[in-house]
Amino acid sequence: MGYHKPALLHESIEGLNIRPEGTYIDLTFGGGGHSLEVLRKLGKKGRLVAFDQDEDALANVPKDKRLIFVGANFRYLKHYLRYHAIGKVDGILADLGISSHQIDIPERGFSFKSEAALDMRMDARAGTTASRILNESSLDRLTWIFRTYGELSNARALARAIEQARAEKDLLSTGDLEQVLKRFIPRTGPSKFLAKVYQALRIEVNQEMEALGEMLEQTTDALAEGGRLVVISYHSVEDLLVKNFMRSGNLEGDIEKDFYGKMLTPWTLVNRSVITPSAEELEENNRARSARLRIAERKSNG
């Protein structure tokens, strides 16, 4: 079983505009697909810092003196750059979301296709589980999670059904959750509906949006002038945050202008419209179907 086939691999590596002697960061190492491509383009003096909070990723780290592996969440980007005495970098890559490896291991609880404990932690060493979210969150919070992160129109009804079910017994497994969801699953596109529910829970469990926002705000200082920020996202909530940040320099997307009406932003958009996988890539890797790539360059006068 392969670890993870990177989406938009060629386009994202090209987007980094790699210089052989430069310093680059892969914030989502995973199976190492993107990192290996970066290393191929680096010379002897080039450096790569790779982040991953999932312990399983350690097995994929190659023995390469140019690579520094950091077993932590990318929200600690600046902390670890300081720790390793690294100043400005020339490119930062993030392939967001969940890896195929994590989905394909039943005991991680990321997939509705297997009976397992409702865990969903990307870092199995810390944090809360999906089971705790379901059993302890308020009705309003559950509604917000399903509506915001799952983009589900029946979020309130789902939350109410969960509240009623957990009054009888704790929801501990994917099977327990499926029993609650059974009457909501549509006849057409059942997998799409279930994927949205699981996506919403996974994002909440791993604080993915909070971590993404913290990471993005750190990239402005971390990148050298002319350095590239390359981000692949997989759902509209992520993509909107990335789009806002690359356009305005802030997470809200608020545009500031100078006296002459010129936009004040530290970024220049490299691709004004989002890049999506080609028909050929989708034929080889269907899991790339929701991938969205955006690239921005750090202005010299930001």
Model confidence pLDDT, tens digit, residues 137-175 = 999 999 999 999 999 999 999 999 999 999 999 999 999
Question: Which one is predicted more confidently, 193 or 124?
Answer: 193
Q: What single string gives the DSSP state of each residue in 172-185?
A: -BHHHHHHHHGGG-
Q: Please name the fold of domain 124-205.
A: DNA polymerase; domain 1 (1.10.150)
Distance between CA atoms of 192 and 287, rounded to whole angstroms? 13
Chain centre to alpha carbon of residue 87: 24
pLDDT of residue 183: 95
Q: Per-residue pLDDT averaged across 272-290, rounded?
A: 91
pLDDT at 47 over 70: yes
Mean predicted lDDT score pLDDT of the chain? 91
**What is the residue extent of each domain of the chain?**
9-100+208-298, 124-205
Q: Per-residue pLDDT averaged across 249-268, rounded?
A: 90
pLDDT of residue 125: 78
Confidence of residue 177 (pLDDT cuts 50, 70, 90): very high
SS3 221: helix
Q: Domain 9-100+208-298 carries which CATH code? A: 3.40.50.150
Measure Cα distances from 168 to 11, 137, 182, 284 in Å: 50, 16, 17, 45
Confidence of residue 112 (pLDDT cuts 50, 70, 90): low
Chain centre to alpha carbon of residue 109: 18
- Eight-class DSSP state of 26: E
Confidence of residue 107 (pLDDT cuts 50, 70, 90): very low
Instruction: Give yes or no for a contact between 265 and 219, defined as CB atoms under 8 angstroms apart.
Output: no
The total of other beta-carbon atoms located within 10 Å of residue 279's CB is 6
What predicted TM-score, i.e. pTM, was given to this entire model? 0.90
pLDDT of residue 44: 97
Question: Which one is predicted more confidently, 114 or 189?
Answer: 189
pLDDT of residue 302: 44
52-61, 227-236, 257-266: range with highest mean pLDDT: 227-236
